[in-house]
Amino acid sequence: MKNQPHLIAIDLDGTLLKDNKTISPYSKEILQKAKEQGHHVCIATGRPFRSSDVYYHELDLNTPIVNFNGAFVHHPKDDSWGSYHTTLEVEVVREIVEVAEKHDVHNILAEVLDEVYFHYHDEKLLDIFSMGNPEVTIGNLKNVLRKDVTSILIHAPEENVEKIRGYLSDVHANVVDHRRWAAPWHVIEIIRAGIHKAVGLKIIADYYNIPKERIIAFGDEDNDLEMLDYAGCGVAMGNGIDQVKSIANEVTGTNEEDGVARFLQSYLSL
């Protein structure tokens, strides 16, 4: 079975990327070997495409990519492959903004693929979100948003995060899913209900006709849970959260120890 083509799905931050956001030469070499042996390597990230395409090209991939935790799936090198974009209705977004404003939030961002909308001007966040040169609009989201959105981010004081999440669960549970970013950011990320990385991974697996038992997925955070659970071989990073380790089939080294490459080298005899 090891010789048959596998689908290898890799999260970026905290997984393939080292803490300084680079990919080690060893990781690149092993992923190249995997591709040469006929395996399909794909990226599955919470990032938008504009801030993951640099890694896509660095790895010289020719596969579809999962962005926004599954809300957007497309093939960067093949327009005819189609794209899957699952959005939140702008009316729901306006209601969420209204409630968020009452919770003394630092900021609210809406992303529509490569357009970023900031509720308030915010130098610190502008800097983080300017990777890949998005089209940036600053202004009251209730007025400036004219279309359905890919995702919303609420940056709130730590003590208000759970209150806002409670509201989302009580009022919008059937329309949205929300997660909390890892420290030090007190950020709530909201996407359409039922959307997660496994949804995107299934689209890609079906395209390549790869059964579950030949899917290997790597991750470290709560946005990787469904993907690791879905894969025949879900691998948690050594630096991953306990919840990820508990549902994974295997635990590898940390992102600083090239955990992805070490696991693949041994598992696929590369």
Coil, strand, or helix at residue 58? helix
Break the chain down into helix, strand, coil percent, rounded to 5. 40, 25, 35
Pinpoint the alpha helices (H) of the chain: 25-36, 53-58, 90-102, 123-129, 141-144, 158-171, 197-208, 225-230, 242-247, 259-267
Pairing, β 250-251 against β 233-236: parallel
C-alpha 261: how far from its chain's center? 20
Q: Which of 11, 13, 177, 224 is catalytic?
A: 11
Measured between alpha carbons, how far is 76 from 55 in angstroms, rounded to an integer? Answer: 12
**What are the residues whose beta carbons fall under 8 Å from the beta carbon of 25, sequence distance 6 or more?**
none
Q: Is 112 exposed, middle or buried (0-12, 13-18, 19+ CB in 10 A)?
A: buried
In contact, 129 and 109? CB cutoff 8 Å = yes
Structure tokens at 207: 């395209």
Please confirm, yes or no, whether 11 is among the known catalytic residues.
yes
Q: Name the nearest CA neighbour of 88 among 175, 166, 165.
A: 175
Q: CA of 127: how far to CAs of 123, 134, 136, 184, 185, in Å?
A: 6, 11, 11, 16, 15
Which residue numbers are catalytic? 11
